[in-house]
Structures are given as structure tokens and as C-alpha cells.
Amino acid sequence: MNVNKIELEIVALSHSVTQSHSYAVVLGEVNGVRRIPIVIGGFEAQAIAVALERMNPSRPLTHDLMKNMMVAFGVELEEVIIYKLEEGIFFSKLICQNADGKVEIDSRTSDALALAARFDAPIFTNETILTNAGLLMDDNLVSQNENIPVQDMQHGNGLSNLSMQELEERLNEVLENEDYIQAATIRDEINNRKKK
């Protein structure tokens, strides 16, 4: 899959519209307008949100532990490849490098994305997957979402009705409860208001 690799980036993280108690990570084609939504669990969504928002939990999460172990043993994550889509399930592999050479490791896509975010490793797929699972996004939606790495795409989340003080209080509450996805959403609301 060397010739037709297409680079992707994480452009959004949201509650899944199709499955309750699930989330969707949206991967966007670098220098393109196609997007791939992938349904993931809450734990993995939290792990991705923590990495993207550069939060420092009081104790390492599982993916932080994985990264720390890889680094301690001289293993670098070079890239993530989403190489197959079968019956709605995405298949991925980690391309790692150590002193002995390259190693390919099979991985759930959600775990691969959580590690890619921690290592700042590129994410790739192929044209077949983008054709079969990709969605075209119009320019207005893309430009709205492009600068927001983690967001709650559900409307009516109630944050717009809160004062800045209430937002800060809620942010502290969710951080104490280690709800990093909600924390990222609140932080985005605070940052958007500060820009205005």
C-alpha cells in the first residue's frame, strides 16, 4: 500500500448520531474534502480527546502507558495505516520502528488513532476505503470544523447559554471527574468566546 497511501488527520470527535453511548471520530483527507466517520467507544474517545487537547491526567491512561512502554523499549510509532473495511469494521496496523527494523502490529482503529495522536504519527488509508466510506463535506462545514480538533457536534449542548464563570466552573467539575471529552467541548466554547 505504498503508492496509493492517502494521509488523514483527526478533524472532529463527536457523540455518535447512530449509536447511543458511542462516539464518532472524524478523519479528514489532508488537502481534500472527504471525511471518514468511525464509531468508537467512550473510553477510546476520551483517550483521543486527552491526546489532542494535550491534557495531563493525574494518572496515565492506558494509551499513555502504551506510549511510555514503547518509548522505554526504543519503539517509535512511524505511522498508522487503515488498510481494510469489512462489514463496517475498519482494520488498522501500527508501523513501528526499533533498533532491529520495522514491525507491523495489528490494532483496533480506535487504539491506533489514540496512539497516533500521542506520537504525532501520520495516519494513512487507501483510495478504496475513502471511496467506500468517505463523505464529501461542503466548504462551509469543512472551514467551520477544520480548526476545532475535538468538538461536540450535537447542537443544543447548553454551553452557549452559560456565562464565562459558569463555563469555568463546569470545566473544573468535569476535569475532576476525568470527563476529558466534555472538558474539551467546554474548553472549545471558552476559547471561541475569547476570540470574539
Instruction: Dump pLDDT digits (tens) for 133-186.
Output: 888 765 444 333 333 333 333 333 567 778 888 888 887 777 777 676 677 777
Q: Is a pLDDT exceeding 90 seen at residue 8?
A: yes
Residue 178 inside a domain? The answer is no
The CATH number of residue 12's host domain is: 3.10.690.10
Integer Cα distance of 89 and 91 in angstroms: 7
Output 8 or 142, whichever has higher pLDDT: 8
Integer Cα distance of 26 and 87 in angstroms: 19
Mean pLDDT of 76-102: 95
pLDDT attached to residue 16:
60
Residue 64 inside a domain? The answer is yes
- Which of 106, 107, 88 is closest to 38 using CA atoms? 88
3-state SS, one letter per residue, for 48-85: HHHHHCCCCCCCCCHHHHHHHHHHHCCCEEEEEEEEEE
Residue 76 inside a domain? The answer is yes
Q: What is the largest CA-CA distance in the chain?
A: 56
Residue 35 inside a domain? The answer is yes
Residue 29 inside a domain? The answer is yes
Residue 187 inside a domain? The answer is no
Ramachandran assignment for 156, one of left (phi > 0), alpha (psi -120 to 50 degrees), beta (any other): left
- Rounded to the nearest integer, the mean pLDDT of the chain is 81
- Cα-Cα end-to-end distance for the chain: 45
Residue 70 inside a domain? The answer is yes
pLDDT attached to residue 17:
56
Residue 180 inside a domain? The answer is no
Q: Is a pLDDT exceeding 90 seen at residue 83?
A: yes
> Computed over its alpha carbons, how large is the radius of gyration of the chain?
17
Half-sphere exposure of 20 (CA within 13 A, CB side): 0
Number of domains in the chain: 1
Where in the sequence is the domain holding 112, given as residue range(s)? 6-154
pLDDT attached to residue 18:
55
High-pLDDT (> 70) share of the chain, %:
82
pLDDT band of residue 20 (cuts 50, 70, 90) is low
